[in-house]
């Protein structure tokens, strides 16, 4: 079995922000393999996040981000369980990253239920007209349109968008990872994006 050195524990701790004992334990499980240890920590963090998902979030911050040039800004409410966590650097950094993502990716709602029926009806109409224009048979057009609407939700709903800083992950996954790291339930409550001329 590989020897777990203090340097290895330090490296893993810096890479993941996890506790010393957790780092030591997973390095042992991974037999010193750093990549495997990171993966194990991520899985444990996600498992912890699921357990915390039901806990009340009555504290938090309203974070404001103004993009260079002051033509674009975001106000974002992120909640957590305690005032102590709301003031931590990790929590503020998370809020900042999400606000910057909102500025860049321009979501129109948190989840599908936040998107207005009128917008969906209009998109459905456009997709349907495109499919008929392409000569798709009438009997399969609705199925294709349903698929396109699901894809549309993924593109415009914040929680299912690919995170701009790491497109391999969705915002929902970033939230779960942060819950695992911080040790409290976190919720993105609401946001508004302002852009000059819109």
Same domain flag for 128 and 145: yes
Same domain flag for 47 and 122: no
Same domain flag for 38 and 66: no
Same domain flag for 147 and 165: no
Please write the tens of the pLDDT for every residue from 52-81: 555 666 789 999 999 989 999 999 999 998
Q: Count how many Cα atoms sit within 13 Å of the Cα of residue 37 in the half-sphere of its side chain.
A: 29
Same domain flag for 47 and 133: no
Same domain flag for 165 and 149: no
- CATH code (residue 144): 1.10.286.20
Same domain flag for 26 and 47: yes
Burial (CB count <10 Å: 0-12, 13-18, 19+), residue 40:
middle
Same domain flag for 150 and 74: no
Same domain flag for 15 and 40: yes
Count: domains in the chain: 3
Please report the pLDDT score of residue 136 as a whole number: 85
Please report the pLDDT score of residue 181 as a whole number: 84
Please report the pLDDT score of residue 183 as a whole number: 82
Report yes or no on 95 lying in a domain. yes
- CATH code (residue 92): 3.30.479.20
Please write the tens of the pLDDT for every residue from 30-56: 888 888 887 877 776 655 555 555 566
Report yes or no on 176 lying in a domain. yes
Please report the pLDDT score of residue 179 as a whole number: 86
List the beta bridge partners of residue 62: 77
- CATH code (residue 21): 1.10.8.10
Instruction: Report pTM.
Output: 0.69
Report yes or no on 70 lying in a domain. yes
Please report the pLDDT score of residue 173 as a whole number: 92
Report yes or no on 1 lying in a domain. no
Give the range of the structural domain holding residue 134, as residue numbers without chain letter. 116-156
Same domain flag for 29 and 102: no
Q: From first to last of the 198 residues of the chain, give the pLDDT tens digit.
A: 567 888 888 887 776 666 677 788 888 888 888 888 878 777 766 555 555 555 666 789 999 999 989 999 999 999 998 889 899 999 999 999 999 999 999 999 999 999 999 999 999 999 989 888 888 888 888 889 999 999 999 999 999 999 999 999 999 999 988 988 888 889 999 999 999 987
Same domain flag for 102 and 163: yes
90, two tokens: 């990790």
78 sits in which H/E element: strand 72-80
3-state helix, strand, coil in the chain (%, to 5): 60, 20, 25
List the beta bridge partners of residue 41: none
Same domain flag for 45 and 142: no
């Amino acid at each position: 079995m590989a020897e777990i050195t203090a340097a290895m524990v330090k490296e893993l701790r810096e890479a993941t922000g996890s506790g010393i004992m957790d780092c030591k334990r997973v390095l042992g499980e991974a037999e010193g393999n750093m990549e495997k240890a990171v993966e194990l920590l991520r899985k444990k963090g996600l498992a912890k996040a699921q357990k915390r998902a039901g806990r009340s979030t009555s504290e938090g911050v309203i974070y404001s981000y103004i993009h260079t040039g002051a033509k674009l800004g975001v106000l974002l409410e992120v909640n957590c369980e305690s005032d102590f966590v709301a003031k931590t650097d990790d929590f503020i950094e998370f809020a900042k990253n999400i606000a910057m993502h909102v500025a860049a990716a321009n979501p129109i709602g948190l989840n599908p239920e936040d998107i207005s029926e009128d917008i969906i009806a209009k998109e459905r109409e456009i997709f349907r007209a495109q499919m008929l224009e392409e000569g798709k048979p009438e009997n399969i057009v609705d199925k294709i349109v349903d698929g396109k609407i699901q894809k549309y939700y993924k593109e415009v709903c914040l929680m299912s968008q690919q995170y701009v800083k790491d497109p391999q992950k969705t915002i929902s996954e970033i939230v779960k990872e942060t819950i695992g790291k911080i040790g409290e339930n976190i919720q993105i409550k609401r946001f508004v994006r302002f852009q000059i001329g819109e």
